[in-house]
Amino acid sequence: MNFYLRNVKSFNDILQQETFTKNDLIRLLKAEGEDRQSLFKAAEQRKAEVVGNKVYYRGLVEFSNICSKDCLYCGIRKSNKNVFRYEAEDKEILDACGFAWRNRFGSVVLQSGEISSPAFVDRVDRLLKGIKELSRGELGITLSCGEQSRETYMRWRESGAHRFLLRIESSNHDLYKKIHPNNDHHSFEKRLEALQLLKECDYQVGTGVMIGLPFQTMENLAEDLLFFKKVDVDMVGMGPFIEHEDTPLYEHRNGLMSKQDRFDLALRMVATLRLLAPDINIAAATALQAIDPAGREKALKIGANVIMPNLTPCEYRKEYQLYEDKPCLDEDAELCRNCLEARIEMAGSEIAYGEWGDSPHYFKRKKATES
Ligand code: SAH
Ligand code: SF4
């Protein structure tokens, strides 16, 4: 065997490793044909070994689309005048959470645009207390309400939120700048700082990226995966970027990968992340479903273990269009639940009704810092 051949790892060698270099990750992300099948098989096995075969529900309530930001990719960005702005009423939000509790969803996610006014902060606080009360403390609560001050994060933590999702969108500084307005209100450093604050306030911290963004390279995505590891996050939610007509990034639509390619790459990202960080929670992103009706179930099969059924009151759903073709726009919560359950079980997973399904990584991380 010549020198060159001896030093090139086979794809299966990489799959056996516990740590990965950037080049290893790139090879996994580019896997096709048989290699792709081996990657998916390895991730499926690793998931079963480390976090088991259970799928955790997080009932998603998109309670307001009012946003102070202008992210260049997002359909509800502040400057989009074609959106009717809403704030669901407390009662509507609590009713949706009551539905989640009665149906033993285990947890809910409250998501919104980014607002930091005292009235907004108070409101979220009140909702957190209301959800805890109506569910006798049984519903777990995740927030996804953007960058906030330490005081706000602390206050919400004390009122009952214990997980927070804040995607970094891209861990590459230059790419981040290309997909956000160039001003202080859209600062990469502040986003990083917010992730750190969330950790310090003792949340289970989730982040993530969009896959298939304009200007994004395979190397960027491999670095995103290493970023999740470096920041030591407990949860990741990542899905394909989907262009929205009313946003500045729409002008780059012709330079994008096909939607199917973005979808396939997102699945390889999920599987690769399961190998790289086996004990975290990984969400099957809703955007997968916008491309393939069975997209989320496919992600659950090859590494994801969390799904967020949409419980947003129907009348608001069409106004919370972060991207085009967002699914389940007119299904009511009950209908969604039944069809989802059947699809998940068909994909071979078990739904963990009534469990919080916390990230095992969070407890390991805490133990390590305490000792
Ligand atoms: N305002 C909060 C939460 C709501 S936005 C925040 O930004 O953190 C939730 C996620 O939607 C964002 O993190 C982003 O990753 C995703 N998103 C927005 N526009 C998108 C698009 N065009 N395609 C795919 N995902 C998108
Ligand atoms: Fe607002 Fe979040 Fe959309 Fe950015 S991604 S415009 S912060 S809702």
- DSSP symbols for 351-363: E-TT-----HHHH
- Phi-psi region for residue 137, left (φ > 0), alpha (ψ -120 to 50) or beta? left
Q: Do residues 58 and 107 make contact, with C-beta atoms less than 8 angstroms apart?
A: yes
Neighbours of 31 (CB within 10 A): 20
164 has a pLDDT exceeding 50: yes
Mean pLDDT, rounded, for 334-358: 82
145 has a pLDDT exceeding 50: yes
- Phi-psi region for residue 200, left (φ > 0), alpha (ψ -120 to 50) or beta? alpha
pLDDT of 93-138, one tens digit each?
Answer: 999 999 999 999 999 999 999 999 999 999 999 999 999 999 999 9
Token readout for 24 is 């290893």
pLDDT score recorded for residue 177: 98
Q: Model pTM?
A: 0.96
214 has a pLDDT exceeding 90: yes
Ligand nearest to the CA of 250: 1
288 has a pLDDT exceeding 50: yes
Q: 58: which strand partners?
A: 107
272 has a pLDDT exceeding 60: yes
Is 114 close to ligand 2, i.e. is its CB under 6 Å away? Answer: yes
Ligand nearest to the CA of 76: 2
DSSP 258: P
Closest C-alpha residue for ligand 2 atom 3: 74
- Checking 78-82 for CB contacts under 8 A at 24+ apart, the result is 80/246, 80/247, 82/246
Q: For residue 329, what pLDDT band results from cuts at 50, 70 and 90? A: low
pLDDT score recorded for residue 330: 66
Mean pLDDT, rounded, for 282-308: 95
Q: Which helix (H) or strand (E) holds 156?
A: helix 150-158
Q: Do residues 164 and 140 make contact, with C-beta atoms less than 8 angstroms apart?
A: no
Closest C-alpha residue for ligand 2 atom 2: 113
For the domain bounded by 21-370, which CATH number is listed?
3.20.20.70
Is 146 close to ligand 2, i.e. is its CB under 6 Å away? Answer: yes
Give the distance (Å) from ligand 2 centre to CA of residue 70: 7
Is 210 close to ligand 2, i.e. is its CB under 6 Å away? Answer: no
- Mean pLDDT value across the chain: 94
- Checking 183-192 for CB contacts under 8 A at 24+ apart, the result is 185/68, 185/69, 186/69, 186/70, 186/71, 190/147, 191/147, 191/166, 192/168
Q: For residue 1, what pLDDT band results from cuts at 50, 70 and 90? A: very low
Taking CA 200 as the corner, what is the angle to CA 194 and CA 201, rounded to the nearest 5 degrees? 90
Q: For residue 335, what pLDDT band results from cuts at 50, 70 and 90? A: low
* Whole-Å CA distances, 352 to 60, 140, 333, 355: 16, 13, 18, 6
Give the distance (Å) from ligand 2 centre to CA of residue 68: 8
Amino acid at 287: A
Percent of the chain with pLDDT over 70: 95
Pocket residue to mutate for ligand 2, from 63, 64, 66, 67, most atoms within 8 A of Cβ: 67
- The helix-helix angle for 22-29 and 218-231 (nearest 10°) equals 120
Give the distance (Å) from ligand 1 centre to CA of residue 209: 9
pLDDT score recorded for residue 325: 75
Is 31 close to ligand 2, i.e. is its CB under 6 Å away? Answer: no
Q: Which residue has the higher pLDDT, 315 or 95?
A: 95
Of 256, 316, 315, give the one whose Cα is nearest residue 291. Answer: 256
User: β-strand 204-207 against 163-165: which pairing, if any?
Assistant: parallel
4 has a pLDDT exceeding 80: no
Give the distance (Å) from ligand 1 centre to CA of residue 11: 33
Report the nearest atom of ligand 2 relative to the CA of 77: 6
pLDDT score recorded for residue 347: 78
Question: So where are the chain's domains?
Answer: 21-370
pLDDT of 35-94, one tens digit each?
Answer: 999 999 999 999 999 999 999 999 999 999 999 999 999 999 999 999 999 999 999 999
Ligand nearest to the CA of 186: 2
3 has a pLDDT exceeding 60: no
Q: For residue 245, what pLDDT band results from cuts at 50, 70 and 90? A: very high
